[in-house]
């Protein structure tokens, strides 16, 4: 038999090595399950995101047959916004989960449009609150949960001060609550901004402004953040705080003697989740997470910590499923007023209340000491609450059109409001002093 040459053996050897390499590559490419990756920026309690992430990994394995690694990075809303806006510099996350809706809308060009596989399983809204991006045919964000404003309270401190848990927003205007409430200035926080609209829509325009002004007089100093408001109550420094529910629920996981109530009405807001549209993102994995977070399976986990976006989901007390019949939403809520009026009433609040907080407290202290039997006393009250009559609700529509949605030529209005508010509170102080001097 003829022997093979050295050259032939060399060729066979090289071919064998090549075949083994190809086989090995194919095995590792298709035979061994790949581990997928997903990076999430979030603003939520670690226990909650860990529970969600661990269940997502199990869900992903079951659905796609491959394992997935999830990197969780806790950050603040502004940092997440900056990352989304500057993804081309340093892509560090695929999913942005949590923060004020306004930031998501402002970053919409940097977010990926996606029609979730489970989009049709959830409602478009819940009590006027959007559960997904309704401004585009393909949503750029979905609500992972909901939140509403209410009052957090410290039972021990309330008992010590002989105070009752308030039942409605007007209860907070009782004299006994003066100095016992803290909150963030609504004009300075997207989380608390809806408080202005809540007061105006759960009452009439004039009464709403009266309530906002008097409540401001009861607050010694606005807190710098919702978390600090909640800490103030949890630590026993202040008995009551107006906060978004999640600030209270987070503290109630570790502190005792705390409670939370929506009182007689609240306005729901979405806690959005979105895909950051960057060149090197894990698109398939990010889309899978969006699908997962709105499933009933995921929402049952969310319900332990937040308000869910699905009906029939179990929530942990004292939370209330927002779809329940007894959830205290504003039934006559005017969505058009919210859409065109939010920025205007925010600016009006700033000129009449935020910037005049000290003058308001001074005027209220003078009114408390005034002689209630004189006509000067009524003049003092009228001037103190003049914000509700200086501008009427009907003027909002005209202002919106004249200022192109409160984006153009607003300075003159702000100047007029500042001047009018300064004069009104000064008149209130003078009237109260005159009532004390009257016989």
CA distances from 325 to 147, 321, 331 (A): 17, 9, 12
* 101 lies in some domain: yes
Confidence of residue 87 (pLDDT cuts 50, 70, 90): low
User: Which of 268, 286, 311 is a domain's end point?
Assistant: 268
Q: Is the pLDDT of residue 8 over 70?
A: no
- Weakest mean pLDDT among 13-27, 271-285, 306-320: 13-27
* 399 lies in some domain: yes
* 89 lies in some domain: yes
Residues 195 and 139 in one domain: no
pTM check: above 0.85: yes
Residues 152 and 252 in one domain: yes
Q: How far apart are CA 39 and CA 95, in angstroms?
A: 6
Residues 296 and 250 in one domain: no
Residues 121 and 158 in one domain: no
Q: How far apart are CA 362 and CA 365, in angstroms?
A: 5
Instruction: Output the pLDDT for position 115.
Output: 98
pLDDT digits (tens, 9 = 90+) for 293-320: 999 999 999 999 999 999 989 898 889 9
Residues 208 and 103 in one domain: no
* 58 lies in some domain: yes
Among 195, 34, 128, 89, residue whose Cα is nearest residue 336: 128
User: Which of 259, 283, 302 is a domain's end point?
Assistant: 302
Residues 167 and 248 in one domain: yes
* 4 lies in some domain: no
pLDDT digits (tens, 9 = 90+) for 91-135: 589 999 999 999 999 999 999 999 999 999 999 999 999 999 999
Confidence of residue 89 (pLDDT cuts 50, 70, 90): low
Residues 43 and 124 in one domain: yes
Residues 190 and 200 in one domain: yes
Work out the percent of the chain whose per-residue pLDDT is above 70. Answer: 91
* 1 lies in some domain: no
Residues 279 and 136 in one domain: yes
Residues 150 and 140 in one domain: no
Among 439, 118, 78, residue whose Cα is nearest residue 288: 118
CATH for 89: 3.40.190.10
Residues 154 and 137 in one domain: no
Quote the number of domains for the chain: 3
User: Which of 280, 302, 324 is a domain's end point?
Assistant: 302
* 31 lies in some domain: no
**Half-sphere CA count of 93, side-chain side, radius 13 A:** 25
Residues 163 and 222 in one domain: yes
Confidence of residue 12 (pLDDT cuts 50, 70, 90): low
In which domain, by residue range, is 136 found?
36-145+270-302
* 18 lies in some domain: no
Q: How far apart are CA 273 and CA 289, in angstroms?
A: 10
Q: How far apart are CA 229 and CA 242, in angstroms?
A: 8
Q: Is the pLDDT of residue 27 over 80?
A: no
């Amino acid at each position: 038999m003829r022997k093979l040459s050295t050259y032939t053996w060399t060729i066979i050897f090289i071919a064998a090595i090549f075949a083994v390499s190809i086989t090995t590559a194919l095995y590792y490419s298709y035979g061994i399950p790949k581990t997928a990756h997903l990076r999430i920026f979030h603003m939520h309690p670690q226990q909650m995101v860990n529970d969600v992430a661990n269940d997502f990994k199990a869900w992903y394995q079951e659905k796609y047959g491959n394992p997935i690694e999830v990197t969780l990075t806790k950050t603040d809303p502004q940092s997440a916004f900056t990352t989304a806006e500057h993804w081309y510099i340093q892509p560090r996350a695929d999913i942005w989960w949590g923060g004020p809706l306004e930031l998501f809308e402002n970053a919409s060009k940097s977010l990926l449009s996606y029609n979730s596989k489970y989009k049709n399983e959830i409602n478009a809204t819940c009590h006027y609150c959007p559960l997904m991006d309704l401004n585009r045919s393909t949503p750029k964000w979905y609500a992972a949960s909901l939140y509403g404003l209410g009052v957090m309270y410290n039972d021990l401190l309330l008992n010590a001060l002989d105070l009752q848990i308030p039942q409605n927003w007007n209860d907070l205007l009782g004299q006994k609550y003066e100095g016992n409430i803290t909150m963030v200035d609504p004009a300075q926080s997207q989380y608390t901004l809806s408080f202005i609209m809540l007061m105006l829509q759960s009452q009439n325009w004039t009464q709403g402004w009266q309530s906002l002004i008097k409540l401001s007089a009861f607050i010694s100093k606005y807190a710098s953040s919702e978390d600090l408001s909640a800490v103030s109550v949890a630590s026993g420094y202040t008995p009551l705080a107006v906060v978004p529910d999640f600030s209270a629920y987070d503290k109630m996981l570790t502190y005792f003697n705390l409670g939370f109530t929506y009182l007689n009405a609240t306005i729901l807001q979405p806690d959005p989740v979105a895909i950051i549209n960057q060149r090197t993102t894990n698109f398939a994995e990010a889309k899978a997470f969006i699908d997962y977070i709105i499933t009933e399976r995921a929402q049952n986990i969310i319900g332990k910590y937040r308000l869910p976006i699905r009906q029939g989901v179990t929530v942990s007390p004292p939370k209330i499923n927002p779809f329940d019949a007894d959830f205290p939403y504003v039934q006559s809520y005017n969505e058009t007023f919210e859409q065109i009026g939010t920025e205007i009433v925010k600016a009006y609040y700033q000129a009449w209340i935020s910037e005049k907080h000290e003058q308001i407290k001074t005027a209220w202290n003078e009114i408390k000491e005034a002689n209630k039997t004189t006509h000067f006393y009524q003049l003092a009250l009228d001037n103190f609450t003049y914000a509700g009559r200086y501008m009427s609700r009907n003027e909002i529509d005209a202002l919106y059109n004249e200022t192109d949605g409160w984006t153009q030529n607003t300075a003159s209005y702000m100047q007029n409001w500042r001047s009018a508010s300064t004069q009104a509170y000064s008149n209130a102080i003078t009237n109260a002093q005159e009532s004390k001097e009257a016989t």
